[in-house]
Structure 1
Amino acid sequence: MTNDPAARAAERGELPRTWYPARSRLVTRVMGAVIMIGLTVLAVALPEDGGWNFGSRAGVVLTGVFCLGFLLTLGRPKVVATKDGVTVVNLLRVRHLEWAQIVRVTLRQGDPWVFLDLSDGETLAAMGIQTSNGRQKAIAAATELRDLVERFGGIEPAER
């Protein structure tokens, strides 16, 4: 038994439950902050002679803003399970699924993240559960999500 309240709640299958790639999220946020701060310091420190006017400095800072935004987007993925269904947040798109829409949860050898097979025949990448944090953690998260799908999937929304 663990002392972590989130881990204990996960063991009991309590909802809501959120999965996200913690290591990737940390790396992208730290790198984004370092780049943004570094380019801002560079813009302030550039010599005034030599063609570095306000527009040039602003361009350097805007490059940092762009890099920060890009890296924050890379750290955005997560999967949230609630009693109403599953919300999959990938890089650019958020999709809410009813439990009954999810047919299968898969994480095959070599897959970078979990895939959800949906009742309409579509397959949706769930980038919030990925192997970048370790394959065993990803397998445990995929198994937990699969168990939740089995528990809630056969129930129509009106019966919950």
Structure 2
Amino acid sequence: MGVLTDYFRAPDADAVRRVLERTEGRSPLSGRQPAFDGVRSKGLDPHVVLGQLVAAVREVPWEVDLVGEAPVWPPGPAPAAGTVVDDDDPWATGPWVAELGDAARDTLAGVADGDVPAVAARWARAEELHGAAGEDLQPVVELLVGLARRARADGESLYCWTCL
């Protein structure tokens, strides 16, 4: 089973929730007219894999809260850590959307074009990328950096929609 992860920018969490309510939780990037500007991806979870990219840019070790995430979807409060939820609970089944920290957005937005190959090569060393080559990751880095730059320029935040 693969994990779908779509990254997008939006003015605020309320705008994201309105779109998700209207589309019954489908990705804001789906359909002929995406609701937001974004990057479709697979398996790039924000917590670990995107966190590894942020660590590669900063040239620091990965840490648990490197990206900084705040839950946006499903509706209602997120269950407390360690809470067991029913199998049919939206917090167990998804999809989920998290607002990413502005520091992570700004880190990605600050990558110079000439630094992308080196960043991709450092990111490729992450165990979670299963030996991917830096040159294969370079287009993904370019897309995420571009998205982060546009978000920062427009005063928007980055979000990640995740579905199993």
State the TM-score, normalized to the length of structure 1.
Answer: 0.32
Higher Cα radius of gyration: 1
Q: Which has the higher contact order (CA 8 A, sep 6+)?
A: 2
The structure whose residues are more often strand, as a share, is 1
State the TM-score, normalized to the length of structure 2.
Answer: 0.31
